[in-house]
Amino acid sequence: MTVRKITIGSLKQLKNTVIGNPSAKLALARDAAFIHLLVNCLNHTAHSTSEPQGSKDDIRIEAVHVISSLAYGSDTTLVSLLRANAHQEIIRALANQYALGVPTLKSALARGLRVLAGAIADVVGPSYGPMRTHTPELRAEAKVALDYLFEYECLDVYLPLLEDSSPQTSLHIAQWIGSAVRNDAHRTSIIQWLPPNERHRDIRGRRGWEKHDVVHAVASGKQGAWVLRHLIAMIQRRDNKVQEAALGAIGALAMDNPPVANVLTKTPIEATTSALNLILSHTKSRATDVQLAAALCTTHIIRAQASHHSGTVDQAAALTVIHVINRILTSSSEQPHHQTKACYIIYSLVRDEKDLGIKAAERGILASLVSLIQTITPLDNTDEWEMDEPESRVSLREASLKAIAAISLFDKPIKRDIADTFDLVPVIQACLKQKSVGVRCSACHCLRSLSRDAAVIRTNITDSGAGIAVYNIFKKEDEDIRVTAAALATVCNLVNEFSPLRTVMLEDGLMRRLMQLFAMDNQEIRVNVLWTIKNLLSKSTSGMKNMAMTHLGWPHLAELTNDPDPEIQEQAFTILRNLTADEAGVNMVFGAMGDEGLASCLSAGLDSAHEMVVRETTYVLGNIANGSRSQQDLIFTHPHILGGMYRCLVDAHPDEPETEEGSGRSRVRVDIEAFV
């Protein structure tokens, strides 16, 4: 497709051609010269005097509509826009005072910015929806573009439009915040931003010793947190679209942000209720989109507020979210995309929170999810049921599995309900074969959650063949790395001493594949590889230990005990701990590493600034203390080791609270005193 002359008519025709037409978008994106021409006309049509100004504005409007449509396309179309600097040209056009005086043009540009920024942010991640695959090159370009959009000069252009007289324009800016904000730096930039005139006034009005807390300012009604105050005002309007956009933006700013979450739960001096209560009131809206936006916003607020204190989540607010989600999941009239959003919201709510997972299961969420996924996942002819399957159903399957995995991660009765009462393992196993990367990955996460229970491993996972199925995915060298990581996390559980699959996998090249993965430049995978080896060596035979160390290598293990990454270092010492769990193992370690080599490793562990590394080192010392007298002498005659032990004893606090993982330095003290 080649269009060289840009007119209102040609752009309208082009817009109608590309909307909903992926092949037409791809063909247009490959015409780099035209894409540059299209983007350039956002700011350069004014140089032409052959048409009246109104026509030039119409060209800009139609051009940005085409750009917005292309942003919804493939990676190729997005790359073409980035390389034409479409995001910069839209910002430049919005900065033009003339554009701000033409409501239709201003609104179109704001919409274009929102759509393009959302597409860019989805590539950069983290993703809050179905899993997508992007090239590293596109991710790098998208990150540069997204960082540009959060520069103060850019924020000064479009954030003031939140109070624009045009409802459509302010709507698009709120939607922009909700879709583009993805990390702490983004949240900080938005929260701390002030309009230039207020920024200068604030600086002049403060004494040198005063600190400026913009988050506190929104609670007290003072100047500051300008964006947050305007978003709170927007959720009180009567327009459903405006409410949804503002709720999405507030949720994005509150996510993983305790200071913002805390202020949203407080009642400002001049108000009668807190922002959280206003947000919760929207869960009763007649519009499903508003209900979902309010539920997600509430989830981000209450999870961030309790982020430093596990188990302290606002239970009443959590139950409100659970009620909303369950209604949507069980309703036969709800659209699949609404149910997909509901799954991601419940995932965000219960993730890594055992009590909330139990509560969600007790209130019927688990049963609703199981019923949903069983309905949309036939077990027969799995090679055929994907061919004509709508993408919305695939996305719903992925989201349902992800939510089930989160709910079942900690509680054994829930795992057994899934495996026995609901008989869901065959469905999960069928999903391992699906073409969709996201479905395969979520299915692996489900099996990872279930495999944390020995009884489920011994029966359902082993007998059904699901364990071998996920192991085969783990072995595939051409698998998507995210699926491989999820499969590895499952295999990590399947190699424990109670698993019937342990020997089967070890004899089938488990260690070779683990070392292949460890060579990757991926910290999460490297840590989980070592974790898997640790589990493999737990209560293992001398033959298993020899086989594992033949692949890992004793010199390599010694290097890992000095690794700069504390998580790697910790896992290296857990491996040493399991190797030295019996007398034969202690002899093996001394014989392979030598007195000085082992002493050097132990000294490095005791010198670590990270408590978990020190703790695992003391476990190794405790094992060695059960060895022969000559082996014990390594501890009691080595000055550096003795010095490290002394520091542990001095720094320990025996009265500090116990946790499931032990009590840090006080646990270290107990370990040392056991053999000192």
User: If you write DSSP's letter for every residue of 69-81 in order, what string do you get?
Assistant: HHHTS-HHHHHHH
pLDDT band at 2 (very low <50, low <70, confident <90, very high): low
The C-alpha atoms of residue 358 and residue 360 are separated, in whole angstroms, by: 5
The reported pLDDT for the residue numbered 386 is 63
pLDDT band at 662 (very low <50, low <70, confident <90, very high): very low
Type of residue at 588: M
The C-alpha atoms of residue 428 and residue 464 are separated, in whole angstroms, by: 11
pLDDT digits (tens, 9 = 90+) for 449-482: 999 999 999 999 999 999 999 999 999 999 999 9
Is a pLDDT exceeding 70 seen at residue 221?
A: no
Please name every residue paired with 22 in a beta bridge, in sequence order, or none if there are none: none
The reported pLDDT for the residue numbered 37 is 93
- Among 305-314, 346-355, 371-380, 595-604, name the one with the lowest average pLDDT: 305-314
Alpha helices in 159-309 (DSSP H): 167-180, 184-192, 196-205, 214-220, 226-234, 240-254, 258-264, 275-281, 288-305
Is a pLDDT exceeding 70 seen at residue 672?
A: no
Residue 642, token pair as written in the block: 């003795």
The reported pLDDT for the residue numbered 634 is 81
344 contacts 129 by C-beta, under 8 angstroms? yes
Is a pLDDT exceeding 60 seen at residue 367?
A: yes
The reported pLDDT for the residue numbered 368 is 98
Q: Is the pTM of the predicted complex or chain greater than 0.85?
A: yes
The reported pLDDT for the residue numbered 384 is 58
Residue 135 DSSP symbol: -
- Among 211-215, 238-242, 444-448, name the one with the lowest average pLDDT: 211-215
pLDDT average, residue stretch 280-291: 98
pLDDT average, residue stretch 322-332: 97
pLDDT band at 632 (very low <50, low <70, confident <90, very high): confident
- Among 148-162, 220-234, 243-257, name the one with the lowest average pLDDT: 220-234
The C-alpha atoms of residue 16 and residue 37 are separated, in whole angstroms, by: 19
What percentage of the chain has pLDDT greater than the value 90?
Answer: 75
CATH homologous superfamily for 553-654+665-675?
Answer: Leucine-rich Repeat Variant (1.25.10.10)
Which residues, 6+ apart, have CB-to-CB distance to 500 below 8 Å? 457, 458, 462
The reported pLDDT for the residue numbered 604 is 93
pLDDT digits (tens, 9 = 90+) for 518-556: 999 999 999 999 999 999 999 999 999 999 999 999 999
CATH architecture for residues 1-199:
Alpha Horseshoe (1.25)
Same topology, domains 1-199 and 322-546? Answer is: yes
pLDDT average, residue stretch 113-130: 93
The C-alpha atoms of residue 529 and residue 517 are separated, in whole angstroms, by: 7
Residue 638, token pair as written in the block: 């080595």
Helix/strand/coil (H, E, C) string of 318-351? HHHHHHHHHHHHHCCCCCHHHHHHHHHHHHHHHC
- Write down the domain spans for the chain: 1-199, 219-313, 322-546, 553-654+665-675
The reported pLDDT for the residue numbered 661 is 41
The reported pLDDT for the residue numbered 286 is 96
Which carries the bigger pLDDT value, residue 219 or residue 169? 169
pLDDT digits (tens, 9 = 90+) for 578-598: 999 999 999 999 999 999 999
Is a pLDDT exceeding 60 seen at residue 656?
A: no
The reported pLDDT for the residue numbered 626 is 86
Q: How far apart are the first and last CA of the chain?
A: 80
- Domain 322-546: CATH class, spelled out: mainly alpha
| Backbone dihedral region for residue 84 (phi beyond 0: left; psi -120 to 50: alpha; all else: beta) | alpha
pLDDT average, residue stretch 205-228: 55
Tell me what the pLDDT averaged over the chain comes to: 90
